[in-house]
Amino acid sequence: MSLLDHIRLCQSRDMARFRPFMAGEAQVGWVRHELALRLAGYDDVFAVDDLAIRLQPSLADFDSRSRAMAEIGARLVEAGVFRKLRGEDFPVMADFGQPPLFKVDRIAVPAFGVKASGVHMNGFVRKPDGLHLWIGRRAKDKSVAPGKLDHLVAGGQPYGLGIRENLIKECAEEAAIPKQLAARARATGIVSYVMEWEAGLRDDVLYVFDLELPPDFTPRNTDGEIEEFMLWPAARVLLEIETTDNFKFNVNLVLIDFLIRHGIIGPERPDYLDLLAGLRHGDPGPSKAR
Amino acid sequence: MSLLDRIRICHRRDMAKYRPFLVDGAAIGWINRDLVARLRGFPRIFHVAENGVALIPAGYEARTAAMADVVATLRDEGLVTGWRDEEFPVASTFYAPPLFAIERAAVKAFGIRYYCVQLNGLVGDGEHQRMWIGCRAMSKPIGPGKLDQIVGGGVPLGYSLTEALVKECAEEAGMAAALAGRAHPVGAITILAEEDGGLWHETLFNYDLTLPDDFVPKNVDGEVESFELLSVAEVRRRLESSDDFLFDVVPLLADCLMRHGHLSADDPDYVALAELLAAEPNLTGHGL
């Protein structure tokens, strides 16, 4: 797959299949029409019309909304719409950087098309022959992208944790990176995309961090989510992205961003400006109140 | 003013005032109502219609010659100022062969997209990183006395990006080619802003260069009055609290601060800022 193909994959959606999900005056997500019609049956929680699916106005604060959505989650598991709850709460907000309006179980995030974010960290080593990146291989039993190549550290952004705080936690859990070393990670920007997904819509922001590691550092997975780690030259990483789909779909984008920032992908490539524009394209469309 | 608000200035425009400038059916620029009216006076060169102003001559040479005549007339009438005697290529994209060349002073009047190479001159790394900042000469037609990156300039006709960068590094900062050649590309930012009665549709290819501690830039071409080595904290403070910087340099410096980890991911504006830095201007909308 070309670099642009990886980006297009993450930016592909047909918004005509969705209607806005509203909480009060704020749009907080997108729901497929079929699911919206089904949810109309839960009229203690939702008011559904042709234009939108809304939380009932009686659900006016964080706690009542979160409780109602937890109840809906349990009912959707019973109904077989969700396989099982993930047991991890994600914040729901009108826009990134704004305070959460309520929280939902992670399993409900794509079904309700709510914004979600994660932290992705490039672990790199400067060697005499250039930059090298630590690459992980995801365990075969992961629910998303089993066996695919991944970053040194990556994880979803749960409710109640700061972004840097979450990164430090994930560093310890996924790669046994001590806190002191993890604290040297630098926030370098974001990658964002809106992607239609089997279960709905992913409206994602990935907070990108770079951590330069000493040559003698070797990561070790502690939570069973990564099978092995490999240290690859940047050129090998680029070749793997351009010629295979071995990396997890969204990891390709974060790596392309890294390779651009470090000058390994340069403006002599005719797709350079399209790559840059495609890496941050989080706006799903004009019907959204942005 | 927040960084976000300052960068929004780079997307301030009302495209309803403009008509597309068409070559072979493709819009390669945007012309405001007043100039459209004036261009009706060149009926053998422009076909003026509701949906746009089409350039009639065909072929690179004929288009370049016709536009040179028009631009010379507009200069005599005071409609094009700041003559540079430097030609920019005009094409449908940066990577497409040029359709014609035009005097640099005229690109904003015709809303033609142009391309620049810009350099962040960095010293050190991490928390104590510093940046060389230039103060533009008072004689510059654009932004006299404003703060700027260490080096920046348009990519003239016939130059590759690297050649243009090395040339600007030598002229503006007295930098040897071997040192300038160590700069590496870090991205590009495209803005579309209405400013000083013209349309700034520019793509700024941005580079980083970490300079030796003992390097001191020395201006050669008279375009920079002085240089100052500022801490990143001071750069940020001046970006936010003053309009000392030329407005289109603000996104480049914000991008530099972000890429080097000087902005917090927990800042509520972080995502909006990052997305605005990457925004492709919507040519039919109203901007911000």
Residue A89: CATH number of its domain = 3.30.750.160
Last residue of a domain, one of B45, B80, B106: B106
Q: Kindly report, residue by residue over A32-47, the tens digit of the pLDDT.
A: 999 999 999 999 999 9
Cβ of B187 and A260 within 8 Å?
yes
Residues B272, B189, single domain; the answer is: yes
Q: Which residues in chain A have Cβ-Cβ distances shorter than 8 Å to B95?
A: 270
Full residue range of the structural domain in which residue B48 is found: 15-106
> What is the average pLDDT value for chain B, to the nearest integer?
95
Does residue A166 surpass a pLDDT of 50?
yes
Q: What is the mean pLDDT of residues B75-93?
A: 93
Would you say residue A224 lies in a domain? yes
Pairwise CA distance, residues A116 & A110, whole Å = 9
Residue A282 touches partner B, C-beta closer than 8 Å = yes
Residue A290 touches partner B, C-beta closer than 8 Å = no
Secondary structure letter of residue B267 according to DSSP: S
Q: Which residues in chain A have Cβ-Cβ distances shorter than 8 Å to B160?
A: 268
Q: Using CB atoms, which residue from B268, B270, B280 is nearest to A277?
A: B280
Pairwise CA distance, residues A252 & A162, whole Å = 25
Residue B27: the pLDDT is 94
Would you say residue B90 lies in a domain? yes
Dihedral of alpha carbons B277, B278, B284, B288, sign? negative
Q: How many residues does chain A have?
A: 290
Residue A93 touches partner B, C-beta closer than 8 Å = no
Residue A46, Ramachandran bin (φ over 0: left; ψ between -120 and 50: alpha; else beta): beta
The pLDDT-based confidence of A287 (bands split at 50, 70, 90) is very low
SS3 for A245-271 is CCECHHHHHHHHHHHHHCCCCCCCCCC
Decide: A176 and A219 in contact? Cβ < 8 Å. Answer: yes
Does residue A281 surpass a pLDDT of 90?
no
Residues A134, A239, single domain; the answer is: yes
Residue A270 touches partner B, C-beta closer than 8 Å = yes
Residue B287: the pLDDT is 61
The pLDDT-based confidence of A289 (bands split at 50, 70, 90) is very low
Would you say residue A290 lies in a domain? no
> What is the average pLDDT value for chain A, to the nearest integer?
94
Residues A137, A264, single domain; the answer is: yes
Does residue B288 surpass a pLDDT of 70?
no
Residue B265: the pLDDT is 97
Residue A207 touches partner B, C-beta closer than 8 Å = yes
Residue B141: the pLDDT is 85
Residue B284: the pLDDT is 64
Q: Kindly report, residue by residue over B12-70, the tens digit of the pLDDT.
A: 999 999 999 999 989 999 999 999 999 999 999 999 999 999 999 999 999 999 999 99
Q: Please give the share of chain A, as a percent, with pLDDT higher than 90.
A: 90
Q: Kindly report, residue by residue over A65-95, the tens digit of the pLDDT.
A: 999 999 999 999 999 999 999 999 999 999 9
Residues A149, A101, single domain; the answer is: no
Cβ of A276 and B188 within 8 Å?
yes
Interface ipTM: 0.95
The pLDDT-based confidence of B280 (bands split at 50, 70, 90) is confident
Q: What is the mean pLDDT of residues A261-285?
A: 88
How many domains does the structure of chain B reveal? Answer: 2
Q: How many A-B residue pairs are in contact by the CB < 8 A criterion? A: 89
Cβ of B264 and A164 within 8 Å?
yes
Last residue of a domain, one of B42, B76, B106: B106
Would you say residue B157 lies in a domain? yes
3-state secondary structure of A140: coil
Residues A133, A273, single domain; the answer is: yes
Last residue of a domain, one of A87, A113, A139: A113
Residue A144: the pLDDT is 83
Q: Which residues in chain B have Cβ-Cβ distances shorter than 8 Å to A190?
A: 265, 270-271, 274-275
Give the domain CATH number at B41. 3.30.750.160
Cβ of A273 and B184 within 8 Å?
no
Cβ of A207 and B275 within 8 Å?
no
Residue A222: the pLDDT is 84
Full residue range of the structural domain in which residue A152 is found: 3-12+116-279
Cβ of B203 and A98 within 8 Å?
no
Residue B169: the pLDDT is 98
Question: How far away is chain B from the Cα of A266, in angstroms, using its nearest Cα?
Answer: 6
The pLDDT-based confidence of A136 (bands split at 50, 70, 90) is very high
Last residue of a domain, one of A113, A144, A163: A113
* Half-sphere exposure in the Cβ direction for A203 (13 Å, CA): 30
Secondary structure letter of residue B247 according to DSSP: G
Residues A158, A241, single domain; the answer is: yes
Residues B188, B245, single domain; the answer is: yes
Residues A265, A154, single domain; the answer is: yes
Decide: A90 and A159 in contact? Cβ < 8 Å. Answer: yes
Strands (E), A129-185: 130-138, 149-150, 153-156
Question: How far away is chain A from the Cα of B30, in angstroms, using its nearest Cα?
Answer: 21
Residues B182, B75, single domain; the answer is: no
Pairwise CA distance, residues A125 & B210, whole Å = 18
> Across the strands, what pairs with B119?
B151, B207
Q: Kindly report, residue by residue over B132-181, the tens digit of the pLDDT.
A: 999 999 998 889 999 999 999 999 999 999 999 999 999 999 999 999 99
The pLDDT-based confidence of A282 (bands split at 50, 70, 90) is low
Residues A153, A75, single domain; the answer is: no
Does residue B187 surpass a pLDDT of 60?
yes
Would you say residue A287 lies in a domain? no
Would you say residue A203 lies in a domain? yes
Would you say residue B229 lies in a domain? yes
Give the domain CATH number at B235. 3.90.79.10
Residues A28, A89, single domain; the answer is: yes
Q: Which residue is listed with tokens 């004929």? A: B62
Residues A79, A27, single domain; the answer is: yes
Pairwise CA distance, residues B106 & B198, whole Å = 9
For the whole model, what pTM was predicted?
0.95
Question: How far away is chain B from the Cα of A4, in angstroms, using its nearest Cα?
Answer: 16
Residues A150, A38, single domain; the answer is: no
Residue A284: the pLDDT is 52
Q: What is the mean pLDDT of residues A217-245?
A: 94
Does residue A283 surpass a pLDDT of 70?
no
Show Cβ contacts of residue A11 under 8 Å, excluding neighbours closer than 6 positions: A193, A194, A195, A278, A281
Decide: A39 and A82 in contact? Cβ < 8 Å. Answer: no
Pairwise CA distance, residues A236 & A227, whole Å = 20
Would you say residue B285 lies in a domain? no
Q: Which residues in chain B have Cβ-Cβ distances shorter than 8 Å to A277?
A: 278-280
Last residue of a domain, one of A58, A89, A113: A113
Residues A45, A108, single domain; the answer is: yes
Would you say residue A21 lies in a domain? yes
